[in-house]
Amino acid sequence: MDRITRGQRSRNMARVGSKNTQPEMIVRRALFARGFRYRLHRKDLPGRPDIVLPRYRVSVFVHGCFWHGHSCPRGRRPSSNVDFWQEKIERNMARDRQAVADIEAAGWTARVIWQCRLADGIAELVDLLQRRKTELAAGSIVSAR
């Protein structure tokens, strides 16, 4: 049984944003603090990645565990209206897989950072970007600029 009315729940869920979420802002601040510059929500890339680093040809999706079906406690599905949520989250997961595949097919590196693993995801992303930065300086890869 829900603690709030159906109308209140609907209004709450409708207010959930898809851009500039708190986990996304944490990743963006961490990258900027380390000197990495990026673009946001590029419409010309599949899936509109949350963060795009064109110089390194890296795109980043910052996923909320609930909305994208992560297998962690935050990703637990509601016990009411089960069929609706099952279908919705499965569609989100399929769309996510397709977006990553399409970006990688276009020659970009795609990374997914989960809300529950922000610190680890940021560390792995920064390591990747540092390697790419070194490769660029050595001339072994070509920038997307």
Domains and CATH numbers, the chain: 18-133 (3.40.960.10)
pLDDT score of 131 more than 80: yes
For residues 17-46, average pLDDT:
91
pLDDT score of 88 more than 70: yes
% of the chain residues with pLDDT over 90: 66
Strands 58-63, 109-114: pairing kind? parallel
CA–CA distance, 100 with 116 (Å, rounded to integer): 20
For residues 100-120, average pLDDT:
96
For residues 37-52, average pLDDT:
94
For residues 102-113, average pLDDT:
96
For residues 64-91, average pLDDT:
88
Structure tokens of 11? 């209004």
